[in-house]
Amino acid sequence: MSFGDPNNPYGPPPQQPPPAPGYGYPQQAPPPPGIPPQHQAYPGYPQQPAYPGYPGGNNMVPQSMPGLLVTARVFLFIISAVQIIGALAFLYFAAFASDVSDGADELGFSTGSDGADMAAGVFGVFALLAAALATLSITLGVKFGRGGQGIRITTVIYGALGAIVGLVSLFVGLDSGFASAVIGPLLWLIFGGIIAAAPVTPSGTAWFARPRY
């Protein structure tokens, strides 16, 4: 009687083969490549979404401001400088018209005094408008660093309006026949178009939608 005989009742019990896959034991799928063990899912536990910016995540967070947004930001600061110069020029014209009005009153020219007063008021309104636009341009440029969707939408509208003004001025300049009357509106059109387009690109949208801690 040999212990190797499978029919020997006194021999060791025969070894059972391992259970076939899928029979009584749930199979765990291998983890996807590129995810460390501490971030892998375990049976019975819900899978946590990937953190933004993590190499295995789907939504990568931009680490620095995209180049087109940087260009739009520089254009905003350039435009604000031009608007400040315009505000100062309108203030000077308003002060000059006010002096003319005072001189006309002293000489007894009431008609000239009324016209000068009206011109001073118009120049004053233009000065305030230019100063307000300069403030808006600077604020948008500064807020590009930490601004959200409100800054993004305001920038798009502001750039689109500027591009429309530049386009209308370009047509007027072309009708005048002077090359010098085309350069300024063309630059304004380009600046406004880039300012309006930069926040709506995929990189610009991701920049303004990134989480802030």
Q: What pLDDT, in 10s, does the model give residues 28-47?
A: 555 555 555 554 544 444 45
Going by the DSSP 8-state scheme, the letter that residue 50 receives in this structure is: P
Q: Could you tell me how far CA 192 lies from the centroid of its own chain?
A: 14
User: Nearest to residue 41, comparing CAs of 51, 52, 29?
Assistant: 29
Between helices 180-197 and 149-176, what is the axis angle to 10°?
160
Going by the DSSP 8-state scheme, the letter that residue 57 receives in this structure is: -
Cα 10 from Cα 27, distance rounded (Å): 37
pLDDT of residue 88: 96
- The string of pLDDT tens digits covering residues 102-128 is 665 555 555 556 677 788 889 999 999
Amino acid residing at 47? Q
pLDDT of residue 85: 96
CA 163, 135, 146: angle at the middle one, nearest 5? 85
pLDDT of residue 12: 59
pLDDT of residue 178: 75
What is the CB neighbour count within 10 angstroms for residue 74?
13
169 token code pair? 């001025």
pLDDT of residue 176: 78
Cα 93 from Cα 27, distance rounded (Å): 83
132 token code pair? 């307000």
Is residue 2 within 8 A of residue 8, CB to CB? The reply is yes
Query: Residue 140: which residues within 8 A CB-CB, separation 6 or more?
Result: 76, 147, 151, 154, 155, 158
CA 56, 59, 60: angle at the middle one, nearest 5? 80
pLDDT of residue 198: 94
Going through the chain in order, the beta strands assigned E by DSSP cover: none
pLDDT of residue 148: 87
Q: What is the pTM of this model?
A: 0.66
Below-50 pLDDT ranges, the chain: 1, 23, 25, 39, 41-46, 48-58
Gyration radius of the chain's alpha carbons: 36
Cα 200 from Cα 197, distance rounded (Å): 6
pLDDT of residue 15: 61
